[in-house]
Structures are given as C-alpha cells and as structure tokens.
Structure 1
Amino acid sequence: MLFLRSRVEYTKEQLFKIEQLRQLVQKSSELDVGTDDTFLTKFLHYTHWDSVKAYQAIHAYYDFKHKHPTWMAQHPIEYYRKLFYATHCRFVMPRTDKNGRVLVIFKTVDAFQQFPDYLQGLIEMDDLIFESLLMLPRVQQNGITVICDLQGTTRNFLRQFSPQFMKVVNDKNGVLPFTQRIVHIIQRGFLMHVTSSLFLPFMNKEFKERIFTHDGKHLSKLREMVGYESLPAEYGGPADNVLDTNLIFNHLSQSADYLEKLQHYKKRIV
C-alpha cells in the first residue's frame, strides 16, 4: 500500500539515535515541537542518522517557519478541500517510481479569478502534501519524485514570481527534510521556458543537479527515468493510470489530526 504507516523495526543503533535526538529536543529551551518517532526519524533519515545534524536541521526548519510563517499550512485540512477539487492541480500516484520514490504531480492551473489569494493557497497545499508524505517510512527512506507540469502557466503566474518570492522558495527547499527529491519539469512554449528560467537561478547547485527538463512533446526520457508503469497516462504511462485528486486529499484527511498538530510546532525566540 502506498500510504502504509506500519510500525518500523529499527536497529539498536537507530533506536539509540532516536532517543539521543529526543533528549536533545526535549532539553531545548527554543524548540516547541513533538518528539514522536515519526517526527524525529524524518530528520534522522535526512541527515543519514547523525543526531546532532538532525537536531540542527530541526532548528533550521523552524527558523524558516518563524521567519516565513505564511509559507506553512495554517488551517484544518477541510479548509483546503474546495481548492483541491476546484483546481485539480496536485496529485500523488498510486505507484512509486522505479526507484521506490513516491511520485507527486504538480500542475500549473490558473485559478486566480476564482481564488483571489490563490498563490497563498498553493503554498499551503504544497506544505500539507510534503508534511503528509514525510510521515511515510518509504518517503523518509527514499525521498520523492516530483513532476512539475508548467504547461498551464499564464501571465498571472509570472506576475507572482518576484526575485524575493523565488528566494524564499529556495530557502524552503533548503530546509525540507527529504533524503532525495528528483524534479522533472515539463514545459512547452515561451511562457513555460520563462517560468523555469525564473526558478533555476535561485536553486542551489545540489538541487539543480536533480532537476530535469522535458519539452512536453518528447517524454521518452521521462518514462525512462520514472518508469512507464508509474507515469500518468497523459505523460505516456498506462491508460488506466489517471490523475485522481481523491488519492491525495483522502490521505491528508486520514492524517488530519497529526498534520494540524504540526502546524502548532514552532521555535521560541529566547
């Protein structure tokens, strides 16, 4: 099952690292966060089970949240239902990619007229998706693959992408505790090339090396890298592999209590 969250069997050394990190967090006068295994292990996987680096990564994440609180989800899951189902722009696929990474699809869909604060809504939706996936052992271990389909980009999107906005995007990318993120950008036409050219200069070198672009017409490279069986039908995958908003929203709803608890975690500035 894609969203399996059964109990993970850790080695003695890993259990020691979890407890070591737990004690570091509990003793901190600055961190107001949880200490459950799911929360701690996402940072431990991210830092290759170095408890000190994991502790530093937690601080970095909540430093970012303190500085940019609107870049995190701020409402109960049900608040986002209308946005998910009106736009159909965020998906997770039922099969992992060929390397065992959960496959996420982000599409640009212009809904600025319907939702005046649309960009903020997208930021919060993405935060929910990332946090919900980081609850999963397979994601903590293997990371994710993201397909960003920019073919629906309009000038309404381009107006939002100021240098400051792009800098914050890059800053958040730098603190998200994924062991690995592979990004495939699908673009076609002038506006789409402009969009990716706005993003890329702000990405750090390590992240850039994991970004691959495709022109939207020739997707053989995408199929080769992701795996035919995993891809949605519209990108050359099996005909029955359709994009379904229910899959991601049901996952969010089932995890609602935990995700809403995460929204209250913060850094105390002392």
Structure 2
Amino acid sequence: MFLLTRVEYTAEQIFKIKQLRQLVERSRELQVGTDDVFLTKFLHYTHWDTIKAYQAIHAYYDFKHKHPSWVARHPIEHYRKIFYGTRCRFVMPHADKNGRVLVIFKTVDAFEQFPDYLQGLIEMDDLIFESLLMLPRVQENGITVICDLQGTTRNFLRQFSPAFMKVVNEKNGVLPFTQRIVHLVQRGFLMHITSTLFMPFMNKEFKERIFTHDGKNLSKLRDMVGYDCLPAEYGGPASNVLDTNLMFNHLSQNASYLEQLQHYEKKIL
C-alpha cells in the first residue's frame, strides 16, 4: 500500500536537502520545520531547484499569513464529526496507473447539519493535502483527484463568489504538488453551471489538468485513471468500496506532525 512506501535519496538530493535546510534556518522570517519530509515536498515541487524551493516555501507561508482561515487550525480529532457526518472525502488504497495517489472529493450538502460547513470543508481539505504531501509517492508523482459534483446544490452555488474562487486559485498556485490531475464528474441540471463557475478562476496551467466527465458514461475516466484503483461506483472493481476510515486513520496516525504544521508561519518583518 502506498502509505508504507519508503524512499532513499541520492547523494546529490541529500546535498540539496542540506542546502535548503541552511537557507530556511538562516531566514529571520520563516518559522517552520527543517525535517526532510517538509523540505523534500518543496524540492520535488521545484524539480530539486534549491532556490525555487526556498521561494516556494515563502510563497506558501505568504498565502497562510494573508488567508489564515484557509488552513487547518484545530487538532485532528476536532474534524472527526464532519468527516464521518458527511463521508465526502476518501483516499484509495492503491495508486492510479500513473503512480499517483487517488483521492475522491464529493459534494455533499450538509449545511443544515454543520452551520459552518464551508469553513469545515476548507480546513478538512487543507489537512488532507498536507497529509498526502508527507508521502514519498505523492511528493514524487503528485495526486489524482476525482471531484464528484453530482451532489452540488444551490446551497453550494451561493458560496462560490468571485472572491471565494479567487482565493481557491491562489491556494492552488502555492500547494507544492508536482502534479495534480483533476477529474470532474458531473450530471444533472447543474452539470454545466459548476464547471462554468470554477473554470474562469483557474490559471492556464491548472486548467490543462482538469478533465470533465458525464456521470452516466465513465469509460474515459477508467481509461485515464486505470480500472484497478477506481472505486466501484466509478466503474472500478466491485471490491473497491469507498471507506472514510482510510483517510481519517491516516490523519490520526500523523496527528502530531500535522498539528505541528499548523503552527508554522512566516513573520512579516
């Protein structure tokens, strides 16, 4: 299973890690860790360019300073209720055919159940991305995201203001994934509305990695992602059942580190 994969770095990569560590330690602004896991996610992201990795760390924490409500701010256990109350965030136990970890995001209308539902989703997704970026396979290959928009309702559409979508695009620009391939699964009367709302705010590079699928015909999705890793409801094997426990257990097992990340920041001098 991908969660257990290990990696050994080359002599050159070890040298780059040490270089980046020295840059971060000398910074008066960055109040962040210097462990290998933290540093290598930015090095992979910038194809092992030390200076660009250092700049990427600054960019990420500039975003966090500017938008503090767009990152997780509570212990992992705080999110248990929303994870299990919505069952809308999943990770599959096997990578896709290109070696990318596969995650499933569903739109589930839980605004009545959780009064601050949108904020909960923002923080939950931040936790998920940070936890995935700990994994060597994700640092190297990136992730594939299936966004199932079939549960989108007018309650969701009311939230997606231009200002909101602008911040979504800003965060997309600083998350250090080497690759993020997104598949939008849509069906029904909101099929075209959702993508029409999202797409204008995405930058050109990210748009090129977004693919849309009619929820009634998923053959293209199977071809692009691979049959073996897909959940059964998207055309994969019957044994591939979506399980909230896989994701939440991963978060819980890494709770200490993930909560430590929440305290990292950039001091603006």
**Could you say which TM-score interval applies, normalised by the shorter chain?**
over 0.9
CA distance in 2, matches of 1:30, 1:235: 46
Question: Following superposition of structure 1 onto structure 2, how do residues 203-242 of structure 1 map, counting pairs within 5 Å?
Answer: 203-242=202-241
Match of 2:51 in 1: 52
Match of 1:187 in 2: 186
Match of 2:32 in 1: 33
Deviations 1:208-265 (A, max 9, x none): 0000000101100000000000100000000010000000000000000000000000
| SS in structure 2 of the partner of residue 113 of structure 1 | coil
CA distance in 1, matches of 2:232, 2:93: 13
Match of 1:164 in 2: 163
| SS in structure 1 of the partner of residue 144 of structure 2 | strand
CA distance in 2, matches of 1:97, 1:144: 9
| SS in structure 2 of the partner of residue 228 of structure 1 | coil
| SS in structure 1 of the partner of residue 9 of structure 2 | coil
Question: Following superposition of structure 1 onto structure 2, how do residues 1-270 of structure 1 map, counting pairs within 5 Å?
Answer: 1-4=1-4, 6=6, 8-270=7-269
CA distance in 1, matches of 2:14, 2:87: 40
CA distance in 2, matches of 1:189, 1:79: 34
Q: Identical aligned pairs, as a percentage? A: 84
Calculate the TM-score normalised by the size of structure 1.
0.99
Instruction: Return 5+ residue gaps in structure 2 as ranges.
Output: none
CA distance in 1, matches of 2:150, 2:9: 43
| SS in structure 2 of the partner of residue 3 of structure 1 | helix
| SS in structure 2 of the partner of residue 151 of structure 1 | helix
Aligned CA RMSD, in angstroms, stands at 0.7
Read off the aligned partner of 1:156 and give its amino acid letter. N
CA distance in 1, matches of 2:5, 2:87: 26
Runs of 4+ in 1 over 4 A off after TM superposition: none
Instruction: Return 5+ residue gaps in structure 1 as ranges.
Output: none
CA distance in 2, matches of 1:190, 1:169: 24
Calculate the TM-score normalised by the size of structure 2.
0.99
CA distance in 2, matches of 1:115, 1:195: 22
The structural deviation recorded for 1:2 is: 2.0
| SS in structure 2 of the partner of residue 161 of structure 1 | coil
Read off the aligned partner of 2:253 and give its amino acid letter. Q
